[in-house]
């Protein structure tokens, strides 16, 4: 479970202060898939950075699986990140000269946990993202959609309980985007991974269980899909 309370973030550049998050409260249940939307500068990507422990808040608390981020040292946050968090970015952030398998294994090299068993995990992941025969290919030879699949496999290699995705389909056309989102929601269902996805695209946000709209650093609107409403909806649509 993720609990965010009174989250504030200010950026100071010279004389100028920018108050990006202004007291955000948010609870995300284990296994929930939440999409965060809002215009540029509304604070949605900053929220993701703070949740991933990549930056620290000016004020407020973030608790993920009973770990309070605000009392951790930088080193502790790095260990926490490796253990609990997977990241997916819009521009994939892969190492272009390495192979697909090497990219997926990269987080394991970083914490020295690459074992034979983990090698099996990599092969399974490759299969589940539809890249079974691409393991030895260099990633810069792959299409955008394929690169994002590699990035998803890399994000999942440590079996993180939380997946943070920042515009994961921002560089892809609708069809490729749909495949990637289908993949992300499948992992959400099958592995009960908590997913927080920032997107500007309502089409992508539709895959979530809950959509949160940010405006000027605060939560402006939210909507949840409830199974009992869905059943009514289904009946209406099919009528």
Q: Site residues (CB under 8 A) for another protein?
A: 182, 185, 202-203, 205-209, 211, 213, 220-225, 229-230, 233-234, 236-237
Q: Could you tell me the smallest distance in angstroms from the CB atom of residue 103 to another protein?
A: 28
Enumerate residues 6+ apart whose C-beta is below 8 A from 66: none
Q: Which is nearer to another protein, 137 or 210 (CB)?
A: 210
Q: Which is nearer to another protein, 142 or 177 (CB)?
A: 177
Our measurement of the distance from residue 224's CA atom to the centroid of its chain's CA atoms, rounded to an integer in Å, reads 19
Q: Could you tell me the smallest distance in angstroms from the CB atom of residue 29 to another protein?
A: 16
CA distance 97 to 88: 19
Q: Which is nearer to another protein, 132 or 225 (CB)?
A: 225
Q: Considering only CA atoms, which of 228, 192, 197 is closest in space to residue 210?
A: 197
Q: Considering only CA atoms, which of 18, 13, 70 is closest in space to residue 42?
A: 18
Q: Could you tell me the smallest distance in angstroms from the CB atom of residue 181 to another protein?
A: 9
Q: How many CB atoms lie within 10 A of CB 6?
A: 13
Q: Which is nearer to another protein, 83 or 200 (CB)?
A: 200
Q: Could you tell me the smallest distance in angstroms from the CB atom of residue 196 to another protein?
A: 15
């Amino acid at each position: 479970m993720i609990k965010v309370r009174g989250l504030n973030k200010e950026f100071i550049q010279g004389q100028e202060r920018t108050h990006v998050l202004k007291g955000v409260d948010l609870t995300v249940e284990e296994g929930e898939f939440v999409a965060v939307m809002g215009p540029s500068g509304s604070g949605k990507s900053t929220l993701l950075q703070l949740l991933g422990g990549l930056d620290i808040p000016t004020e407020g608390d973030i608790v993920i699986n009973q770990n309070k981020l605000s009392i951790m040292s930088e080193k502790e946050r790095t260990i926490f990140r490796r253990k609990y968090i997977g990241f997916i970015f819009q521009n994939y952030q892969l190492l272009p000269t390495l192979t697909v398998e090497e990219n997926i294994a990269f987080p394991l090299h970083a914490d020295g946990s690459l074992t034979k068993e983990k090698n099996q995990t990599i092969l399974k992941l490759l299969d589940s993202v539809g890249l079974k025969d691409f393991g030895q290919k260099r990633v810069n030879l792959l299409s955008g959609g394929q690169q994002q699949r590699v990035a998803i496999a890399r994000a999942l290699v440590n079996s993180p309980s939380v997946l943070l995705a920042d515009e994961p389909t921002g560089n892809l056309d609708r069809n490729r985007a749909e495949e990637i989102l289908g993949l992300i929601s499948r992992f959400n269902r099958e592995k009960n991974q908590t997913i927080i996805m920032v997107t500007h695209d309502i089409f992508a946000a539709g895959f979530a269980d809950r959509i949160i709209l940010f405006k000027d650093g605060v939560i402006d609107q939210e909507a949840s899909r409830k199974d009992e409403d869905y059943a009514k909806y289904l009946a209406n649509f099919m009528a």
